[in-house]
Amino acid sequence: MPPVLLPNAHQFRGHVAGPTKTDAIVITCPAKINLTLEVLGRRESGFHALRSVMVPLGLADEMSLEPAGAFAFSCSDPSLENDDNLVVRAARALGKDGAPPGIRLALRKRVPSQAGLGGGSSDAAGVLLAAMDGALGEQPPRDWMAVARDLGSDVPFFLARTGALVEGTGERVTAAGSIPDWHVAVVKPPVAVSTAAAFAALDRSSRPSRPRDSSVSLRALEALQREDFDAVLASLHNDFQAVIAAEHPEVATALGALERAGASRALLSGSGSAVFALARDAAGVESVLARLDLDPGYARFATQFAPTPAWNTQTAPAR
């Protein structure tokens, strides 16, 4: 029997029947970008309080899931086949006594790793969403947001199934509703950025305090909900950008190349190393990517905000 397609989490609302002995499902796990990223300080727990507007992308990993006698995990990138992979940890969170359920997961990676694009977090969220949507059979009552937060600070965002304002250490997620069909040019420089090292570098720098009522992230969220492209561009911000660009010349090179190619603004995503530029349409992205003066080591992706038709038809806020 051919696989049963489980639509992208951002396109799906409701439940699917759990897989039978012959069924398999395929889950798309979207990347994300941070339109804003404010680091508000380090808590006593060691975690940093954040405020960020994040949106999912059409660029996505793909994961197949099917019943099996014992748990198994494989990946198109063999270096990611280990017990610390977030996919494995998410599966364990669904089992009893830390043992994952009897399923076989096969992950096909398309989202670059260590890029600030949330690929690993999205893969973990894909497992949770499959369970939430009934693909793994009946589940006991769970605080799904708490399960997601235990896996990683970016995982709760992907449970929103659309763009969102993310606060705290990732546990406070305010969904944006439907988001516009804007396009994105993404460049991944040939360098990996350690998130821990990025936070350490940022802690050594000085940053102004930002009261919530004057936050750039709140302005960006409102502009996104209004589909005001120019206002979103004006709100783009990442506290990591100056620090990471200074420590990793490849990131600075990619940012400069995007702007020289005609991007209105270029921004770091997460703590890097990927950078991006927004465009209203696909032609705008294609124009920028065609003009990039970068060597082949800089990976390029033309993508767009992931569609959210469920929000458009069922829960869209009044405009």
Examine the domain organization and report whether 91 and 202 are in the same domain. no
Domain boundary among 147, 175, 203: 175
Whether residue 187 is found in the same domain as residue 130: no
Q: Does residue 48 share a domain with residue 155?
A: yes
- Our count of domains for the chain comes to 2
Residue 317 lies in a domain: no
Residues 78 and 199 in one domain: no
Rounded Cα distance, 248 and 245, in Å: 5
Exposure on the CB side of residue 79, measured as CA atoms within 13 A: 3
Which listed residue (61, 123, 154, 239) is catalytic?
A: 154
Domain boundary among 148, 175, 202: 175
Q: Does 319 fall in a domain?
A: no
Residue 231 inside a domain? The answer is: yes
Q: Which structural domain, as residue segments, surrounds residue 111?
A: 4-175
Q: How far apart are the first and last CA of the chain?
A: 44
Active site residue 32: yes
The question of whether 109 is a catalytic residue gets the answer: no
Return d(Cα 46, Cα 250) in angstroms, integer: 29
**65 & 159 share domain:** yes
pLDDT of residue 47: 72
Say if residue 53 is in the same domain as residue 128: yes
Within 8 A by CB and 6+ apart from 134, the residues are 15, 16, 17, 18
CATH number for the domain spanning 260: value is 3.30.70.890
Q: Are residues 143 and 57 in the same domain?
A: yes
- 3-class SS at 302? strand
Q: Based on the domain organization, do 257 and 188 belong to the same domain?
A: yes
Helix or strand (DSSP H, E) at 306 = none
Q: State the catalytic residue, choosing from 32, 109, 133, 188.
A: 32
What is the distance, to the nearest Å, from the Cα of residue 44 to the centroid of all Cα atoms in its chain?
Answer: 26
Domain boundary among 139, 154, 175: 175
Please check whether residue 219 lies inside any domain of the structure: yes
Structure tokens at 53: 């507007």
Per-residue pLDDT of the chain (319 residues; tens, 9 = 90+): 333 333 343 333 323 334 444 478 999 999 999 999 999 866 666 577 899 999 999 999 999 999 999 999 999 999 999 999 999 999 999 988 878 999 999 999 999 998 999 999 999 999 999 999 888 888 889 999 999 999 999 999 999 999 999 999 889 999 999 999 999 999 999 999 888 888 787 877 766 666 666 799 999 999 999 999 999 999 999 999 999 999 999 999 999 999 999 999 999 999 999 999 999 999 999 999 999 999 999 999 999 999 875 543 333 333 3
**Domain co-membership, 11 together with 152:** yes
Same domain, 188 and 206: yes
